[in-house]
Amino acid sequence: MDLLAQYVMNGVMLGLMYALVALGFTLFFGVLDVVQFAHGDVVTAGAFAGLATYAGLVLAGVESAVPQLVLVVIAATLSMAVLGAVLGRVLVLPLKGAPPLNVLLATLMGGTALRECIRLFYPGGSQPQRFPALLPSASWSMGHFTLRLDNVLMIVAGGVLVLGLSLVLRRTRLGLEIRAVAQDEETARTMGIDFRRVVLLTFAIGSALAAFAGVMHGLYYNEINFGSGLLLGVIGFSAAVLGGLGSFGGAVLGGFLFAGLQTLGAVALPFASAYKDVFAFTVVILLMTWKPTGLIGEQLGERV
């Protein structure tokens, strides 16, 4: 029972992280019909930006955890919002008319460049970096299961973020513009919506979410690695695809679904929990074979 609770806790944390990444993918696909494959590396970059901020704060003499945490999160999300907009402006928008595989390739390579920059230029970047524990370490024991306050805080924060995004999309003018562009670019333009502004803001928002996920990742595992973004990106993309690219609810569902698959894999194959990724990706491939455009698929139509 306690083991189950532990797994559930794990699963929810990971699911939320994956959902945040998947939301980025689905937003970008919604507004531009594009897969931005550097997104996973933006997650890592966000974590490193947070780490660098922390190092700076320590040097500046900021000792207390609360301002550290707040500033780290702000710095990470803001810097990645900017990076995301830049990536959109430089890599994605110029390739708007090109065959979709070109954008996939360009962003894959862009992600590689980003990853390599972290590895080469961040001091000690090629080694895993310790991420500071900025959240309170209180915990409650319930039998063999330990409920940690930091995990609860992260889950709550992540949940608030997802809900917040949902509200932004459904209640604000920006959200309306984003949905309009996602629905039909041409009509949106004729209605006077500034297409480029909306696209760049969408990239900024999606990348800010990624940064948050990166900081979460660092706080949860207490370490970050320049290469972790790659796997996270593929997982986030898989999650978004499973839920149906372009669907908000689908991305969240997909994130939790993938986390669930990993947990299931770890439980079902106790002799090697490392096989959980093999298991999860195999299921993804099988699901995509069954439903090529996701469980809540995108409707592909072709005018003949």
Partner 1 sequence: MRTASAGTRAISALALAAVAGLLLYGFLATESEKTVGLILLAAVVAVAGGLRSGVLPRLVHAAGAGPVLGALGLSMLALIITFHDDPFVLLLMARALLVLVACLGLHVQLADAGVPNFAGAAFFGVGGYTAAVLGRSDLPHLLILLASGAVAAAVGSLLLLPLLRTRGHYAALITIAFGLLFRTFLEVNDTLGGPQGLKLGGLRILGWSFNDDRQLLGMDFSGYAFYCLAAVVLALFAVALVRRVERSWIGVALDAVRLDETAAACFGISIGRWKIAAFTLGNALIGVAGGLSAMMVGFIAPNNFTFQESLVLVSILLLGGLGNLAGLAVAALLVIWLPEKLQPIQEFRYLLFSVLVVLVLVLRPAGLVRRTARRPFGSVAW
Q: Which residues contact 193 (CB under 8 A, 6 or more apart)?
A: 177, 180, 181
C-alpha to C-alpha distance for 37 and 236, rounded to whole angstroms? 10
* Residue 288 sits in the site that holds partner 1 (CB under 8 A): yes
Whichever of 64 and 271 has its CB closer to partner 1, that residue is 271
* Residue 127 sits in the site that holds partner 1 (CB under 8 A): no
Whichever of 99 and 143 has its CB closer to partner 1, that residue is 99
Binding span for partner 1 by CB under 8 A among 8-16, 57-65, 194-202, 234-242: 234-242
Angle formed by the axes of helices 100-121 and 39-59, nearest 10°: 30
Q: What is the pattern of x (binds partner 1, CB under 8 A) and - over residues 85-124?
A: -----xx--xx--x-xxx-xxx-xxx-xx--xx--x----
Residues 50-89 that bind partner 1 (CB under 8 A): none
SS3 139: strand
DSSP structure string for 78-147: HHHHHHHHHHIIIIIGGGTTS-HHHHHHHHHHHHHHHHHHHHHHSTTTTS-EEPP--S---EEEETTEEE
Q: Sign (positive/negative) of CA torsion 254, 268, 150, 45?
A: negative
Q: What is the pattern of x (binds partner 1, CB under 8 A) and - over residues 172-211?
A: ----------------------------------------
Can you tell me which of 66, 74, 231, 267 binds partner 1, judged by CB under 8 A?
231
SS3 147: strand
Strands (E), the chain: 129-130, 139-142, 145-148, 223-224
CB 239 within 8 A of CB 43: no
* Residue 141 sits in the site that holds partner 1 (CB under 8 A): no
Whichever of 104 and 152 has its CB closer to partner 1, that residue is 104
Rounded to a whole number of angstroms, the minimum distance from the CB of residue 91 to partner 1 is 7
CA gyration radius, the chain: 19
Residues 242-281 that bind partner 1 (CB under 8 A): 272, 274-275, 277-278, 281
C-alpha to C-alpha distance for 150 and 152, rounded to whole angstroms? 5
Whichever of 120 and 149 has its CB closer to partner 1, that residue is 120
Instruction: Give the footprint of partner 1 on this chain (CB under 8 A).
Output: 35, 90-91, 94-95, 98, 100-102, 104-106, 108-110, 112-113, 116-117, 120, 230-231, 234, 237-238, 241, 272, 274-275, 277-278, 281-282, 284-286, 288-289, 292-293, 300, 302, 304
